[in-house]
A and B are shown apart, each in its own frame.
Chain A
């Protein structure tokens, strides 16, 4: 396959996301301009200019009308997808690490970092009408997070939120119970040690399972109802992102040696491949090379016929699978 390389960013990619139909691909990086591309030919539709810091997280709503980004400049901004204009800006006390629209996009959640004497906090905001006043509105719900900070987040429809934490914990928050939230299941990704944080979480197609990617060198598949651990995919490097194929029983893992460790280890290559695992048998069956640094984000195209990866090297690579991928039969 001939990947398309998108080089609209000047620094490491932090997250990539397809919209629901998969015709657009959004990307954010440690420079301050998230970009949006046509996934078919790699043409850049535009960039969202306005942030003044590292853009950590992006999300796009169900109808691809609004785009949200959270950044290190302590703002969470909502943009019009069609014009690239900023329509709402919410300022928080510390940098915004994760954000996501709810399924209906009537609500959105964002979490802030534990920094500058601020505790990690989760905010749920009303996004039915987004305009200049959005920044002044009080959030619907404010949940202080005691303990380790939130490093990734997922909405389960409009009812609950699943958060992945820096210590490897995964917590589900029920929002329906009298607007009081509680964490009814804490499933450890790993032993409660430092640095095993959950880098990324992604849904499967029908929202019954999600996959987590963790620094403990594994990706894990969980049942969304009760956070039951279903499968574990083991590698020998930190996993930064994982995605589930919508049409095949495949998952793709992206990761690699951390950028800060590259110089302190000897000449061995860092294994910056995208790695394909069989979802059920937990066995690796394929690899795709390409990036010069660790992969920070991977995403399957919603039609399952391709995938994209964004790396520490600042490139997004859009792949369309060859027929060999579809013809490949996993032996078991």
Chain B
């Protein structure tokens, strides 16, 4: 305490304090503008001169409005001077109305692009993967029907697995195209690797809305109480190594997974609320 007083008693400081009184603020009216000059100390205790310029306008309005314009200010504003008080009224930054273009227009531009590509000459520039038509796959008119048809095909093929001859015939129909090993007649379609995968994912729990700072160790600590796990995968950014907000936990037993979901869904962890559910196979999306 005494030390602080000593510092303050420096005569130079005292002079500065006495002489530091702010000049009074002024208001000047000049050809349609009101100029207000104020002096203030900023955060660094430096004197700052603030000049505000207002445009003074005259408008012709109805009597009632004119009468209201001359009302005496009241309440919190009773001590305000005429004109806007800079403490309560601020001119904000410029904002613009963003006009949205309609959706039909978007479609049109895409079509134009397609037409241009077609005009280039090559007929097969765009080819649908479903029906081989000359449009984008995503815009295939047969999209839904083809997918449905594909499923029926699957069943047809899955039925006669035991009779290689029939399946071979099927394959010949598809021509000389490359068939991945998993889809060749030798592979068991129904209970093939995909089925195993699905079984596996049955015990996989997806935990989402994890905070950025979650680490592998944190996640393991979080799920360990529920039971043995075969794999704990935390999605991380390749470059920064930060958590991307979700994780997959492979439980050895289904019960443990269910327990984990019951506990963790809606659980507050590191100021965020987690969501947990069975992991869904990618193809259902």
The answer to whether A138 has its CB under 8 Å from any CB of chain B is no
Instruction: List A21-35 residues whose CB lies under 8 Å from chain B.
Output: 21, 23-24, 33, 35
Q: How far is the CA of A27 from the CA of B271 in the complex (A)?
A: 34
Chain A contact residues, majority secondary structure: loop
Residue of B nearest to A332 (CB): B102
Q: How far is the CA of A154 from the CA of B29 in the complex (A)?
A: 46
B88 close to A44 (CB less than 8 A): yes
The answer to whether A183 has its CB under 8 Å from any CB of chain B is no
Q: Give the size of the chain A interface in residues (CB under 8 angstroms).
A: 51
A45 close to B92 (CB less than 8 A): no
- If A44-B77, A44-B80, A47-B74 touch, whether A5 touches B97 (CB-CB below 8 Å) is no
Q: How far is the CA of A160 from the CA of B139 in the complex (A)?
A: 53
Interface centre among A3, A44, A85 (most CB of B within 10 A): A44
A-B pair number, CB within 8 angstroms = 131
Contact of B68 among A1, A64, A264, A286 (CB under 8 A): A64
A325 close to B97 (CB less than 8 A): yes
The answer to whether B69 has its CB under 8 Å from any CB of chain A is yes
Q: How far is the CB of B54 from chain A (nearest CB, A)?
A: 8
Q: How far is the CA of A267 from the CA of B272 in the complex (A)?
A: 11
The answer to whether B218 has its CB under 8 Å from any CB of chain A is no
A45 close to B97 (CB less than 8 A): no
Size category of the B interface is 35 or more
The answer to whether A178 has its CB under 8 Å from any CB of chain B is no
B68 close to A24 (CB less than 8 A): yes
B71 close to A45 (CB less than 8 A): yes
- If A284-B100, A287-B100 touch, whether A44 touches B68 (CB-CB below 8 Å) is no
- Chain A hits for B74, CB < 8 A: 45-47, 83-85
The answer to whether A266 has its CB under 8 Å from any CB of chain B is yes
Chain B contact residues, majority secondary structure: loop
Residue of B nearest to A82 (CB): B71
The answer to whether A48 has its CB under 8 Å from any CB of chain B is yes
A328 close to B94 (CB less than 8 A): no
Residue of B nearest to A50 (CB): B75
Residue of A nearest to B105 (CB): A331
Write the residues of chain B forming the contact surface with A, with a CB cutoff of 8 angstroms: 59, 61-62, 64-65, 68-69, 71-78, 80, 83-85, 87-100, 102, 105, 209, 245, 271-273
- Chain A hits for B78, CB < 8 A: 46
Q: How far is the CA of A42 from the CA of B86 in the complex (A)?
A: 10
Q: How far is the CA of A286 from the CA of B87 in the complex (A)?
A: 31
Q: How far is the CB of A45 from chain B (nearest CB, A)?
A: 6
The answer to whether A38 has its CB under 8 Å from any CB of chain B is yes
B100 close to A285 (CB less than 8 A): yes
B62 close to A21 (CB less than 8 A): yes
Interface centre among B75, B94, B105 (most CB of A within 10 A): B75
- If A5-B89, A44-B89 touch, whether A290 touches B80 (CB-CB below 8 Å) is no
The answer to whether A136 has its CB under 8 Å from any CB of chain B is no
A276 close to B97 (CB less than 8 A): yes
Q: How far is the CA of A317 from the CA of B91 in the complex (A)?
A: 9
Chain A 286-298 near chain B by CB (<8 Å), digits 1 or 0: 1111100000000
Q: How far is the CB of A64 from chain B (nearest CB, A)?
A: 7
Chain A 251-290 near chain B by CB (<8 Å), digits 1 or 0: 0000000000001101000000000100000011111111
